[in-house]
Structure 1
Amino acid sequence: MAAVLARVHATLTEVGGLSLTGLGDADVVRVLDELTSASSSLTRQVCRAAAEADQRRLGDTTGARHTHQWWAGRSRHTHAEAARLTRLGRAFEDDLHAPTGQALADGRIRIEQARVIVAAVDAIPTSVRCTDGSTRIIDPSARTQARDHLLKAASEHDAKALRRLGRRILDVVAPELGEAQEAATLAAEEARADAGIELTLTDDGHGRCHGRFTIPSHAGAMFKRHLQALANPARHTDDELRDEHGNWKPLHRRMGEAFIEYIERYPEDATPQTAGVNATIVITMTLEQLLGEHATALLDDGTRMSAAMARRLACEAGIIPAVLDGEGRVLDLGRTRRLFTKAQRIALGLRDHGYTARGCETTASGCHAHHDDPWSNGGTTDLANGRLLCPRHHRLAHDPRYAKTVHADNQVTFHRRT
Structure 2
Amino acid sequence: MSSIDEILGVDQVEHHLAALDVAVEGLLGKPLTGLSDDQVVEVIQRLETSLRKAAAVGNRLVVEAVERSIPGNLACRSVNEFLIQTLRISGADAAARVKRARKTGVWHNISGENLEPTLPDTAAALATGAIGTDHVRAIAQIMRKIPHGTDTDHIEVAETILSDAARSTTPEDVTTIGLHLLAHLAADGNAPDERDRKRMRGLRIGKQGADLMTPISGLLDPETRALLEPVLAKLARPGMNNPDDPESPSGDVESPDLDRNALAKAAARDTRTAVQRNHDALTAGLRHLLSSGVLGSHRGLPVTAIITMSVQQIEEENGIVTTASGGILPISDALRMAEKAHPVLALFDHRGRPLHLGRARRLASAEQRLALIASSGGCTRPGCDAPASMTAVHHIREWRDGGPTDIGNLDLACDHCHALVTDSPGGWKTHTSPDDLVHAGRTAWTAPKHIDPGQKPRINHRHHLDELIAGALEHARARREAEVREQRGGACGATGGWHRQARVSGGGDNDSGGDRDGDVP
Q: TM-score range by the shorter chain?
A: 0.3 to 0.5
| TM-score (normalised: structure 2) | 0.37
- More helix, by proportion: 1
Instruction: Tell me which protein shows more strand as a share of its residues.
Output: 1
Structure scoring higher RCO (CA < 8 A, sep ≥ 6) equals 2
Query: If the length of structure 1 is used for normalisation, what is the TM-score?
Result: 0.44
The structure having more radius of gyration, on CA atoms, is 1
